Structure 1
Amino acid sequence: MLHARAFKVSVTWTLALLYLGSVVHATESSLACPDWPTCFGTMVPEMTGGVFWEHLHRLVAGGLLLMWGLATWFARKETADRPWIFKACIAGIVLLLVQSAFGGLTVIYRLPDLVSTTHLALALSFLALATVLASATAHVGNSEPPSGQEDGTRRWATAAAGLVFAQSVLGALVRHMDAGLACLDFPLCLGRVVPPLVNAPITVHFAHRALGMIVAVVVLAFAVRAYRIGSPERIRRWATLAAALVVAQVALGVASVFTVLAVLPVSLHTLVAASLLAVLVHVATLAHTTKARRPEARARRDRLSTLR
């Protein structure tokens, strides 16, 4: 189905856009174009220096809006029996438009912390929505039958995804408040387990570290649980990927501090966080859709028993 493929492309596109947005900020290119939606009064500026990154970010964002519009059109034609999909697509268009407007406000008002952080929060919200649609509409061949453990898996994955979302938004606040180097040591912060919370940058930075440890514990516990209770193989695979991503995320956070916010580790830190969110949302959606097939699976077993 074309709509399912378009949803998958949109998820990948969004991840690339989030990475590119992080590069824009890390290279201090956010205000390379002083106006919006044009750049120095034109849609085709000279692509040099910071203008290259900022305007490329805008162009890729515009491409995502067109891609999602195409996905919405496909969904309307191909999913008439599931109207919630088209409604979710419309919600996605609204999210993208509002998120784009916040991007414009970020430039016009010269990077206010709250506006810039909301800009990222909306992008992550769209990523989660696109992932739900991509997962719910994907054709899974030779699906394993419902195991009866779907509710627990969905709750764990949803809780972990919520924590990752909150941690990512807090990380955006750290970045936009220029608090990334408020603590230059690790694992201690200013030489202490709990530093003196004497100003906003130190407080926000320490909160980001503390919540990061909680997220890591929850995601790793989720992965261990998937194996301990004998979850279906595909759930175990995704849980393993989530565990690997959270370990990589912690390592990139440490690297960001020790490299004094170098472009590559900081940008990968954002990308891995977004990827972890998408993986957890995917697992939660898989568990939900598998549970929805339970009556169908039970009826199929009953028919086979009758035939025997």
Structure 2
Amino acid sequence: MKTQQWLATIAVFLTMGVILLGAYTRLTDAGLGCPDWPGCYGFLKVPKQEHHIAAAMEAFPERPLEPHKAWNEMVHRYFAGSLGLLIAAIFFVALLRKQSSRLIPTALLALVVFQAALGMWTVTLNLLPLVVMGHLLGGFTLLSLLAVYWLKLHPDYRVYEPQLVSLKPFAILAVGVLTVQIALGGWTAANYAALACIELPVCEAGWLQRMNISEAFDLHLGHDDYEYGVMSAEARQTVHVFHRLGAVITLVVLSAFLLQLWRRVTSTLLKRLTLAAAALLLLQFSLGVLNVALHLPLANAVAHNFVAANLLMLLVIICMQLRATNPTGKESL
């Protein structure tokens, strides 16, 4: 059990690191810093020697080597690869321990393999927005699933409050609304629409007349290269506006849920989780406003991505705590 607990704990924090690095890579426009996969210009690390650089330029003349972008991409891949090996270890340890359920470890392994495929397609399909958004959602899902696994391995952190069971549908709704909003954020970033509107509270004057919903949510398949986006300015503005409106809806729904939870909860642990989720919600909304007001500063934008991942993880953990059965009874892991 202790081995599984340690592996799960390390995996949670490593996943957070991978999410941070992934956001930093995307926001520094380094998603194609290495135009091939899994290596970089045909090498296992960024080429430095003159003859290696010459070989790289010959192999990929359309994409000159930019070492800082290439290193951003490769460091992200190294950490993601390490996470993949760690999750494989979690799976094999669960496989060897016959008393343990293998459902979550199997799901984790399948998800991290799919994430690796999405990482490959991100490069080979030249930042296809659908793939980029899917890669983001996959990383957030992986973090939440690891948190669920960690919770199941630590029964001391599981509570049972029968009066909260009726809030489970509201909790599921809150998770669903936040997931849709994260997907909208991913679509906004993948289509380079984060600065399509730079005025508050909604957009520049006349934004409603410029809305183009059909193009904004078209998959735009068939382009050779999606770097820096292929949408029109009107479509990008539409995506941005939808993300802003989604932020308001998310703030209202999650605030209402957390308020109801706070009024009914009695355990210290759930009170702390509720307060932490509320703090992250307010921080996330503030970071979104600052992204617009300050024109997407790098540190702020990375934090916006990271806080969203942690807010989703916390809501999933809270949802798992609203149980109809007593966790002190025997239950498989």
Question: 2:83 is matched with which residue?
Answer: 64
Question: 2:123 is matched with which residue?
Answer: 107
CA RMSD, 1 decimal: 2.2
**How many residues are treated as equivalent by the alignment?**
290
The answer to whether structure 1 residue 139 and structure 2 residue 155 are counterparts is: yes
Aligned-residue offset at 1:95:
1.1
The answer to whether structure 1 residue 190 and structure 2 residue 180 are counterparts is: no
Matches within 5 A, 1:81-92: 81-83=99-101, 86-92=102-108
TM-score (norm 1): 0.87
Partner AA of 2:128 in structure 1: P
Structure 1: which 4+ aligned runs deviate by more than 4 Å? 192-195, 294-297
The answer to whether structure 1 residue 177 and structure 2 residue 191 are counterparts is: yes
Partner AA of 2:161 in structure 1: S
1:149 alignment partner, SS class: helix
Aligned-residue offset at 1:121:
1.7
Alignment partners' CA distance in 2, 1:231 and 1:201: 45
Structure 2's unaligned 5+ residue stretches are 49-66, 213-233
Question: 2:288 is matched with which residue?
Answer: 253
Partner AA of 1:258 in structure 2: A
Q: Which residue, 70, 73, 76 being the options, matches 1:54?
A: 73
Alignment partners' CA distance in 1, 2:319 and 2:250: 16
Question: 1:128 is matched with which residue?
Answer: 144
Structure 1 residues 30-77: Cα deviation after superposition (integer angstroms, max 9, x where no partner): 111111111011112248411121000000000101111122223233
Alignment partners' CA distance in 2, 1:268 and 1:185: 21
Alignment partners' CA distance in 2, 1:163 and 1:272: 16
Alignment partners' CA distance in 1, 2:280 and 2:208: 26
Q: Rate the CA distance shift 1:150–1:2 in 2: closer, same or farther, 3 A.
A: farther
TM-score (norm 2): 0.81
Structure 1's unaligned 5+ residue stretches are 298-308
Question: 2:180 is matched with which residue?
Answer: 166
Alignment partners' CA distance in 2, 1:114 and 1:246: 26
Question: 1:76 is matched with which residue?
Answer: 95
Matches within 5 A, 1:149-160: 149-160=163-174
Structure 1 residues 190-222: Cα deviation after superposition (integer angstroms, max 9, x where no partner): 147957414321221111111111111122222
Q: Which residue, 131, 135, 139 being the options, matches 1:119?
A: 135
